[in-house]
Chain A
Amino acid sequence: MLKKEKLLDFADTILKLSDADMTTVTVAGTKESLTRFSNNQITQNVDSLKYSFTIRTVYDGKVGVVNGTSLEKKNLSKFIEKAKDIAKNQTHKKEIFPLSSKQDYTFTKSFDKKTENLAPEIRAKYVKDAVKLCEKERLESAGIFSNGATCVVIANSNELEAHNETSNVTFSITVQTKDSSGWAEQNELSINDMDIIGKTKIAIEKAKKSKNPKDLKPGKYTVLLEPAAVADLISFLSYTTFNGLMISEGRSPLSGKIGEKISSTMINLYDDPYFKGVGGLPFDFEGFPRKKLTLIENGILKEIPTDRKVAKMLKIDNNGHSLGPDDEYGPLPLNLYLKEGDLSFEKMVESTQNGLLITQFHYVNMLNPITTTITGMTRNGIFFIEDGKVKHGVKNLRFTQSILEALENVSMISNKVVLQSGGFGGGFAVPGLKIDHFNFTSKTEF
């Protein structure tokens, strides 16, 4: 990946070439190396390094935006002219906020060069080690080992210069028997924190334990959600319910509810890009510093993400959650951290008379944003718990459940948070949850 100085130099070239009233340059880079395996062999192995840049020019209240990939400077004037052409050929003006100026940011350690550049032979060796364990148990495995890095630079004609880089590594494995499967995944910023063998053993154990799954009638059950399942659930809070614009336009169930109780008093939810290992961006996509937000404190809605537009609509401060100066989707909390409780997950299982342990959800989608009702399937390890013990595997079920209602019905929170991948802009940190009256509406055949 190109370093800060080279990226800023590229941005500076554009700023010098542009004659617009305002010019902003954003450069993003992604290096991704990924080894994919299935049926106990490597089936795909790729390496890609790609950059994208965006030039935003403003002429007399009219905006032109162009995007490109090649950082070759010789073609830049063509892009700048195109941006000018788009802006000048408009008759409609819109409200333009002034450009942000130079800012101070808080950085966390999120980049490791070794992790960015692991060789394909190293990835293959990790995969081989995992597959070997599965073969020993005569089980089939599929998954990925990926590593890489992302970088972003935002610079503008008002002297803003923002840069951040993050490395990442992911191992994910699904292990299968004839009638069951188990899954485990680890997402970290550094290869030094990875435990490939440990995760493979978890997936193997889950696959073996869920053999001969039994049919279960859909209905309301107490569930113990492992962190991956919790992340599937609350990610919709990030994209929809806690969207600052939706809240300000009356399109969220949280509209007008700041200061009101919206979940169990056990729930403390933050947007925290500075949480260790999350790898969040310290600035938003206009270059403003991202403030850590207390979204829910002891069940009370405290803060919501804002950009300048939402801040103006709601007459509150901009807390640096913009997705871009022309964004119409709305500011989001990209790095949710659900605060841990004080019980181990094992103790939570022991406390359960009757319930279901869920490893992961699959294909979750929003049904009704106003009631926060979502639907999805269980996947790769669903177990029946009786008298505090995991008894047997269960065939997969479909749930149809309101997220806010589920957060109201939380009765226990585990004492360890696990990092979940969230793509560009970092991930989530969530613990396991015990939730009563979780609504399963149909079943499938496996």
Chain B
Amino acid sequence: MFKLGKLAIDVAKHYGADYADIRIIDTKNEEINVKNGKLNVDYSNTLGFGVRVLFKGSWGFSSSDNLSVSEIKKVSKEAVMIAKASSMLQKEKVQLAREDVYHDHWFTPVLKNPFRVPLEKKVELLFKIDEILRKKSEIKVASSEMSFQNIRKWFISSEDSEIVQDLLRSGGGYSATAVGNNDMQTRSYPASFGGQYYSGGYEIIEQMELLQNAERIRDEAIALLSAPQCPNEIKDIILGGAQMVLQIHESVGHATELDRVLGYEENYAGSSFATLEKYKKFKYGSNIVNLFADATIPMGLATQGYDDDGVKSQRWDIVKNGILTGYMTNRELAHKIKDTRSKGCNRSQGFYSIPIIRISNLSLAPGEWELEDLIKDTKDGIYMDVNRSWSIDQRRLNFQFGCEIGYEIKNGKLGRMLKNCSYQDITPNFWNKCDAICNENYWDLWGVINCGKGQPGQRAEMSHGSAPARFRKVEVGIGN
């Protein structure tokens, strides 16, 4: 592969490229789903390459799924021609931040390769879950799934880096949808929209306690049908970890992507309120709010050795003691915040996509509270968990998020189950209302596998760690 990669670089240079890199990517996926007793198994294997070049400070990118010498020559030349067209409308030349040259092979630590676990073993587990979920007639849709992905990626650049990475992620979960009482309610485990995912092997599935929680989830979905609506009032809220992941992702992760901040996403995903004049000054949250990005954290979905710029993975602060202190950056834009080195956030969906800035693993540092004490300390509130819906404005200020399940908190005690729970606020107002975060015993990483961004659209994966946290005086139950 290195030989083919070097050929791409040589061809690009021959046609005038000042910088070139190639990523050759071989991806294997296995998706297993049981829905209402019906099994679907889907296996895919994709292989291709993408060539990215700079010509006089302008980008060009082309790709192909035909890994032949003639196609590599053709695509490399095309990338340079596209870059030449880009230079027709250029105000500022792209400057790449300096990065060391690496010759390395990095791989995800794995105990059990999920692709070697017999299919029938995985299928049997899903059928057992399906049987429990559908034991009660109110459940109209029971869906359980597992998904495994193995990416082997070669990166070769004109700066002489040669990097191979073997990335493996595993995960799954299930949901039960109950219908009745003129209503429909869904509960999911461990998280919604496909479950929970980590970097690692089949050991992840074995540690999820999938079967042990199936009855509870089924019964909660049914109970929600007759539960009272979340009231439309101002309340203190405690968000569980599975909801905090969405809160961190939407209101901090995207808001601190430097390309968004600089207007590169203005026409599609939007920009950000966290603009450069706020850097190192802005009170993003209360003093106890500490958010850090970490592409080296064990089991994170954005955990890797190097990003698609060939930058080595790092950990850094995004919000420190409530102050905005960092952004997600790449080699192209790092200099815009006077950084001499990229934080390593440039990633692409596949060989056919140009790398763009993506959220790294971004986590809220744990606080000191026991969850029991936090509930005892709350007079009039709601505990909400597991995301159900999300919407946020184009500068990441006004958000409205919904949760699958909630519980009333009255005078320090958990009370009735509530349905259709939602809350709405403005991002910095909300994070400044955070007055308590649970301790490391409640802290976990949650995987996001469906983060969309860019034109053409790209999907990326990352994890967010959090423990439950409390926010004072928030509007809940909008539209109820």
Q: Which residues of A contact B (CB under 8 A)?
A: 32, 34-52, 63-72, 79, 82-83, 86, 89-92, 94, 119-121, 123-125, 127-128, 131, 140, 142-144, 146, 172-174, 176, 183, 249-251, 326, 328, 362-370, 373, 375-377, 379, 396, 398, 400, 439, 441-446
When the two chains form their complex, are residues A38 and B263 in contact, meaning their CB atoms are under 8 A apart? yes
When the two chains form their complex, are residues B61 and A67 in contact, meaning their CB atoms are under 8 A apart? no
Provide the bound-state CA to CA distance between A365 and B352, in Å.
28
Which residue of A41, A363, A400, A439 contacts B92 across the interface (Cβ within 8 Å)? A41
* Chain A, Cβ-Cβ closest to B35: A328
The interface-forming segment of B105-113, B115-123, B307-315 is: B115-123
Those 7 A-B pairs whose CB atoms lie nearest each other, nearest first: A120-B85, A67-B44, A444-B398, A142-B266, A400-B479, A69-B46, A41-B91
List of A residues within 8 angstroms of B391 by Cβ? 363-365, 375-377, 398
Number of A-B contacts (CB under 8 A): 254
When the two chains form their complex, are residues B83 and A379 in contact, meaning their CB atoms are under 8 A apart? no
List of B residues within 8 angstroms of A251 by Cβ? 140-141, 177, 179, 184
When the two chains form their complex, are residues A70 and B65 in contact, meaning their CB atoms are under 8 A apart? yes
Distance (whole angstroms) from the CB of A255 to the closest CB of chain B = 9
Distance (whole angstroms) from the CB of A389 to the closest CB of chain B = 27
Provide the bound-state CA to CA distance between A365 and B193, in Å.
14
Q: Which residues of B contact A (CB under 8 A)?
A: 29, 33, 35-48, 50, 58-67, 78-79, 81-86, 88-92, 118-120, 123, 127, 140-141, 143, 177, 179, 182-184, 262-268, 270, 273, 352-354, 356, 389-395, 397-398, 400, 402, 420, 422, 424, 426, 455-456, 475, 478-479
When the two chains form their complex, are residues B60 and A442 in contact, meaning their CB atoms are under 8 A apart? no
Provide the bound-state CA to CA distance between A306 and B344, in Å.
47
Given contact pairs A63-B40, A91-B120, A444-B393, enumerate 6 new A-B contacts (beta carbons under 8 Å). A35-B85, A69-B45, A94-B38, A128-B89, A367-B422, A400-B478
Which residue of B38, B267, B398 contacts A143 across the interface (Cβ within 8 Å)? B267
Given A120-B85, A249-B179, A398-B424, A38 and B266 touching (CB < 8 A)? yes
Which residue of A38, A41, A63 contacts B267 across the interface (Cβ within 8 Å)? A38
Can you list 24 A-B pairs with a CB-CB distance of less than 8 A? A35-B86, A42-B85, A43-B59, A45-B61, A46-B62, A63-B39, A66-B44, A67-B46, A82-B43, A83-B43, A86-B43, A120-B85, A124-B86, A144-B267, A146-B456, A251-B140, A251-B141, A328-B36, A365-B389, A368-B420, A379-B393, A398-B400, A400-B478, A443-B398
List of A residues within 8 angstroms of B424 by Cβ? 398, 441-442
Distance (whole angstroms) from the CB of A36 to the closest CB of chain B = 6
List of B residues within 8 angstroms of A442 by Cβ? 398, 400, 424, 475, 478
When the two chains form their complex, are residues A46 and B184 in contact, meaning their CB atoms are under 8 A apart? no
Distance (whole angstroms) from the CB of B175 to the closest CB of chain A = 12
Which residue of A79, A146, A183 contacts B455 across the interface (Cβ within 8 Å)? A146
Provide the bound-state CA to CA distance between A368 and B419, in Å.
11
List of A residues within 8 angstroms of B118 by Cβ? 89
Provide the bound-state CA to CA distance between A51 and B82, in Å.
21
List of B residues within 8 angstroms of A35 by Cβ? 85-86
When the two chains form their complex, are residues B119 and A90 in contact, meaning their CB atoms are under 8 A apart? yes
Which residue of B38, B63, B393 contacts A398 across the interface (Cβ within 8 Å)? B393
Distance (whole angstroms) from the CB of A39 to the closest CB of chain B = 5
Provide the bound-state CA to CA distance between A189 and B428, in Å.
43
List of A residues within 8 angstroms of B44 by Cβ? 66-68
When the two chains form their complex, are residues B92 and A49 in contact, meaning their CB atoms are under 8 A apart? no
Distance (whole angstroms) from the CB of A143 to the closest CB of chain B = 4
Provide the bound-state CA to CA distance between A52 and B45, in Å.
10
Which residue of A123, A125, A176, A364 contacts B266 across the interface (Cβ within 8 Å)? A176
Given A66-B43, A251-B179, A363-B393, A92 and B127 touching (CB < 8 A)? yes
